[in-house]
Amino acid sequence: MRIDYNKGGLLTPQRARPRQEPRADGGPKKKVMLIFPPDWYPSEPYLSLPTLTAFLRRAGHDVVQQDVNLEMYDWYFSADFLKRVLKRVPRQLDRLKKLSRERALSDEEIELQMALCACTRSRMADLTEQAERAKAIVRSPDFYDADKLEWAMQVFRDVTSTISLVYAPARICMPPMETDLSYKIFMSSEVLAAVEDTQVNVYRDVFDHCVRPAIEAERPDVIGISIVLRQQLFSSMTFCAMIQEHFPNIHVTIGGNTVTRLRDVLPNTPKLFALFDSAVVYEGETAFLQLVEAIGTNRDFREIPNVLWRDEAGIHTSPVTSAENMADLPPPDFDGLPLEKYFVPEPVLPYLATRGCYWGRCEFCDHGEGYTAGYRTKKIQEIIEEVRGLRDKYHTHHFHFTDESYPPALFRKLTRQLKEHNLGIAWTTHIRFEKSLLDDEVWQDAQDSGCKFLHMGYESGSERVLTLMDKATTTEVIQRSLALSAQHGVWNHVMGFFGFPGEQYEDAKFSMQFLEDNKHHVHSIGFGTFDLSKHTPVAKHPEKWGITYYKNPEWDLAMDYYFTVKDGLGVEDAERVFEEFEQNHYAGWDLKIYIREYVFLYVAHFGTNHLPALQFRIAPEEDAVALAKV
């Protein structure tokens, strides 16, 4: 797709391009701290920080990148934090005692009271020992013993459950995406209340332990916080508020996918916006660099693309936007991140070769909202050289290509070039089911190049629904792709959902039956129900899909909506279908370990996509025999 730089105020690369060389012009060098906030699983660095770091360092600025999410989980599973938990037990019991004088405690509160009484010094000492051992397991070769890894994961769950007792009614979880502070993330008023709640807001303690000391040591001029998931709003806004309290002279900018999706809302939430100084939407390299260099000068922020900012007059939005030229972007810079502390035995590095989605037509998808321009890619030789450089610099052979969906032509080139250059890496990425990828030679190249794990967008096994979605694929293409990937040792993780507008129960049954019929070629699944995200084509044209949805004005941060349908599965219907699938699907898909980086590392380590040790229940004998033939 060609980029029209005359459309929508989009700046040309020449107009938007920042300084490319180190600052020999005498301009002020800035110190920038970049923060990746909780909650995310600490198995690999998130790419936003290393990408911005490389861009800013090339322009001559001093950058400190801090993965607070990683630091937080490392701290959770330590003697220091669990001692703090023990000290909070009397405080929590006192709170419940005072509450009991006002009213009868609920069953949940009585259960909490009993659990707190069980948090003895010896119990916490045992839990501390187990937590440290669990961290050692996930960071060592013991990781590849499935029983030990499962034990470690259970310890993490036990520890976070114990932590939850003293922050209740908040719930701290592992996996972290299920953490719940007991406030509504889709209301700015609730987010603001959560920020001030010293009982449930564990991120206030995380700030004091992880963030504040780093700021005091580094004294940055600017702090940038990357908010990728909506759930990170709780921690991010807490950090913003506490930075403002303790370091009022530091300019704080937020950015990331969630900020971009809320770009139309943030100017109308002045109380929330009051916690930070500016926001960067869409692609951030050029915009953030220009913002950093403009802070403290007389430059008009209206000239800076992709920026929202506040001043005495109010909140403003830049009239111009910019998109990056992929050829001008340096490879990510991971220097300063403690790669040895991630919860993996060997580093897995993310790498992005493209921007946008080459297909860009799926009716349910809003991934394109992160970009102002169309699909772009780096040249294949540049990709190979950058991956080689990262491999050698950081002494890793494991890569996660985080592209929205790897284009078929580039997939062919990549596998062939990785094979010809003999880079000796193991890698994983995300792809669509494409007719052009059905040659055996393609999958042989993939196998030889080190491709170990693929996320595959299945969505539905009904061709009628696939047509409604504009997926432009068929069940025959899907079946052959699954068979070829399995035959060539590539683990396929099939992603789908129920409840797309117009889907009937019979269509959902087709989806289930198709997977059952091909269970010997399908390694793992990730299913859910359709969410009506605000930026999807379906939400933009509801009349086309026969749906009706309501925007609650109090839910100002909502990014998806409840909806009803004229025909087909409604929201509740889709949930019932999903539950049916959960209860009745092939037992071999239920894995003890489901974290994507973990399965990827297992396949890479053992050199096979047949890993019965990861299954909760070993498949029946005839299934195992069939799998062994794959």
pLDDT digits (tens, 9 = 90+) for 421-478: 999 999 999 999 999 999 999 999 999 999 999 999 999 999 999 999 999 999 999 9
1 burial (CB, 10 Å; 0-12 / 13-18 / 19+) is exposed
When pLDDT is averaged across residues 598-607 and rounded to a whole number, the result is: 97
Q: What is the DSSP string of 386-436?
A: HHHHHHHHHT--EEEE--SS--HHHHHHHHHHHHHHT---EEEEEE---GG
Helix, strand, coil percentages, rounded to 5, for the chain:
50, 15, 35
Confidence (pLDDT) at 330:
97
Confidence (pLDDT) at 177:
80
Domain at 327-332+344-628, CATH from 3.40.1210.10, 3.80.30.20, 3.30.1300.10, 3.30.2270.10: 3.80.30.20
When pLDDT is averaged across residues 111-129 and rounded to a whole number, the result is: 96
Confidence (pLDDT) at 367:
80
* CB 356 within 8 Å of CB 373: yes
Q: Is the pLDDT of residue 607 over 90?
A: yes
Q: Which of 525, 598, 587 is nearest to 153 (CA)?
A: 598
Provide long-range contacts, Cβ within 8 A and 24+ apart, for 110-114: 112/165, 112/168
Q: Is the pLDDT of residue 5 over 50?
A: no
Confidence (pLDDT) at 8:
41
DSSP label of 144: G
Confidence (pLDDT) at 13:
47
Q: Which of 409, 408, 415 is nearest to 433 (CA)?
A: 408
For residue 497, what are the β-bridge partners? Answer: 528
pLDDT digits (tens, 9 = 90+) for 352-369: 999 999 898 899 998 877
Q: How far is CA 448 from CA 104, 252, 383, 416, 470, in A?
A: 66, 46, 18, 9, 32
* CB 487 within 8 Å of CB 443: yes
When pLDDT is averaged across residues 393-402 and rounded to a whole number, the result is: 97
**How many CB atoms are closer than 10 A to CB 213?**
11
pLDDT digits (tens, 9 = 90+) for 245-288: 999 999 999 999 999 999 999 999 999 999 999 999 999 999 99
Confidence (pLDDT) at 387:
98
Confidence (pLDDT) at 372:
81
Confidence (pLDDT) at 10:
52
Topology match between the domains 21-69+205-326 and 327-332+344-628: no
Confidence (pLDDT) at 618:
59
Confidence (pLDDT) at 3:
37
- 186 pLDDT band, cuts 50/70/90, is very high
Q: Which residue has the tokens 């590392």?
A: 601
> b/e map of 572-601 (b: 16 or more CB within 10 Å)?
ebbebbbeebeeebbebbebbbbbbbbbbb
pLDDT digits (tens, 9 = 90+) for 56-71: 999 999 999 999 999 9
C-alpha to C-alpha distance for 295 and 305, rounded to whole angstroms: 14
Q: What percent of the chain has pLDDT above 90? A: 89
C-alpha to C-alpha distance for 433 and 484, rounded to whole angstroms: 12
The domain made up of 21-69+205-326 is a member of CATH 3.40.50.280: yes
Confidence (pLDDT) at 622:
44
Q: Is the pLDDT of residue 235 over 80?
A: yes
Q: How far is CA 491 from CA 57, 486, 558, 593, in A?
A: 37, 7, 35, 14
pLDDT digits (tens, 9 = 90+) for 465-522: 999 999 999 999 999 999 999 999 999 999 999 999 999 999 999 999 999 999 999 9
Confidence (pLDDT) at 526:
95
Q: Where are the domains of the chain?
A: 21-69+205-326, 73-196, 327-332+344-628
The angle subtended at Cα 278 by Cα 274 and Cα 284, nearest 5°, is 150
pLDDT digits (tens, 9 = 90+) for 128-185: 999 999 999 999 999 999 999 999 999 999 999 999 999 999 999 988 888 999 999 9
Confidence (pLDDT) at 506:
97
What would the two tokens of residue 225 be? Answer: 């916080």
**How many CB atoms are closer than 10 A to CB 108?**
10
- What are the two backbone dihedrals, phi and then psi, of residue 159, each rounded to the nearest 5 degrees? -65, -45
When pLDDT is averaged across residues 31-54 and rounded to a whole number, the result is: 97
- 28 pLDDT band, cuts 50/70/90, is confident
Mean pLDDT of the chain: 92
329-338, 474-483, 534-543, 619-628: the lowest-pLDDT one: 619-628
Q: Is the pLDDT of residue 85 over 70?
A: yes
Q: Is the pLDDT of residue 629 over 50?
A: no
Helix (H, G, I), strand (E, B) or coil at 599: helix
- 16 pLDDT band, cuts 50/70/90, is low
Q: Which of 343, 306, 384, 309 is nearest to 73 (CA)?
A: 343
Q: Which residue has the tokens 């047509």?
A: 467
pLDDT digits (tens, 9 = 90+) for 537-583: 999 999 999 999 989 999 999 999 999 999 999 999 999 999 999 99
Under 8 Å CB-to-CB from 312, ≥6 apart: which residues? Answer: none
When pLDDT is averaged across residues 35-57 and rounded to a whole number, the result is: 97
